[in-house]
Amino acid sequence: MRAKRMVAAISMATTVATTAAAMAAPPAPVTDKEQAAFFDFYSAAHGTGGLLRPQFAVTSIKGRRHVSATVDGPAQRAVLPLCRQGREVFDYDAKARRWSAAAPKQLVWVHHQSRCDVQPDTPIELLAPLPEMEILVLIQQHPTLLNNARLLMAGNTSCAPARSRGYRLRALDRAKDGLPVLVFENDIGEEARIAVRKSRNELVAWSAVCSAGRR
């Protein structure tokens, strides 16, 4: 009887360890068939001319393997020194074995050279239409606006625990009341949305809303 219990315990421990290892293992990389299916899908929708090299990514969402592809269009000069670029994102349905397009994105960044041919590692996503001059000023002043917003964050229960962390500007948006919003993300994926308004001739941080972000 004791021997049977030991065997059962060892078997259960082995099963638990195997399951834990499987959960910890990274998802399998994108396959040649998945890539070929993407090129067929993209060519049918856009034609083969001018296809930029897609960036494939494989992540785990709720324990399931998720495959996506990103195609960036050509970077274009907006008002100096602002650059804009369109981005298409596609998702792969493993069960249906087909690709589908997600909502297109707009990326912006500041680049002081004559051509917008160098995208930064973390371009800023434009979540709502904003005037180009407003975009430029918000990007240029975002460090100062973030520092001013830390006082607002201190008085907000959802923001206070993370107010001293480092943040990077991830996106620009517009609030329901029409105010432009700076969307920041910190090093643990938490998000801070800082609404901005004009006071005389200066931009000031007006409100702060924080959440768990995208992770």
**How confident is the model over 31-47, as pLDDT tens digits?**
999 999 999 999 888 87
pLDDT above 80: residue 133: yes
Q: Measured between alpha carbons, how far is 180 from 164 in angstroms, rounded to an integer?
A: 23
Q: Which domain holds residue 196?
A: 128-211
Q: Which residues contact 88 (CB under 8 A, 6 or more apart)?
A: 70, 71, 72, 73, 101, 102, 104, 105
134 and 183 share a domain?
Answer: yes
116 and 179 share a domain?
Answer: no
**Which of 69-73, 190-194, 211-215 has the lowest average pLDDT?**
211-215
Q: What is residue 49's predicted lDDT score, i.e. its pLDDT?
A: 60
Residue where a domain terminates, one of 70, 94, 125 = 125
Q: What is residue 4's predicted lDDT score, i.e. its pLDDT?
A: 52
Mind listing the pLDDT tens digit for each residue in 79-112?
A: 999 999 999 999 999 999 999 999 899 999 999 9
Residue where a domain terminates, one of 79, 103, 125 = 125
Q: How many CB atoms lie within 10 A of CB 131?
A: 10
- Strands (E) across 7-131 are located at 55-61, 64-72, 76-77, 82-93, 98-101, 105-110, 124-126
Mind listing the pLDDT tens digit for each residue in 46-59?
A: 876 655 689 999 99
Work out the end-to-end distance of the chain between its first and last CA atoms, rounded to an integer number of angstroms.
48
- Count of structural domains, the chain: 2
In a domain, 150, yes or no: yes
The answer to whether the CB of 198 falls within 8 A of the CB of 141 is no
Among candidate residues 111, 116, 68, 118, the one with its CA nearest the CA of residue 93: 68
pLDDT above 90: residue 68: yes
Residue where a domain terminates, one of 125, 157, 172 = 125
Of 76 and 23, more confident: 76
Q: What is residue 21's predicted lDDT score, i.e. its pLDDT?
A: 43
pLDDT above 70: residue 142: yes
Among candidate residues 31, 42, 107, the one with its CA nearest the CA of residue 67: 31
**Which of 15-19, 26-30, 131-135, 198-202 has the lowest average pLDDT?**
15-19
Q: pTM here?
A: 0.79
Q: What CATH number has the domain bearing residue 136?
A: 3.10.450
36 and 101 share a domain?
Answer: yes
153 three-state secondary structure: helix
In a domain, 20, yes or no: no
| CA distance readout (Å), 73 to 29, 48, 110, 116, 138 | 24, 14, 17, 12, 24
Q: How many residues does the chain have?
A: 215
Question: DSSP class of residue 140?
Answer: H
pLDDT above 80: residue 127: yes
| Burial readout 54-83 (b: 16 or more C-beta within 10 A, e: otherwise) | bebebeeeeeeeebbbebbeebeeeeebbb
Of 136 and 63, more confident: 136
pLDDT above 90: residue 11: no
The answer to whether the CB of 189 falls within 8 A of the CB of 214 is yes
Q: What is residue 25's predicted lDDT score, i.e. its pLDDT?
A: 72
pLDDT above 90: residue 143: yes
Of 106 and 10, more confident: 106
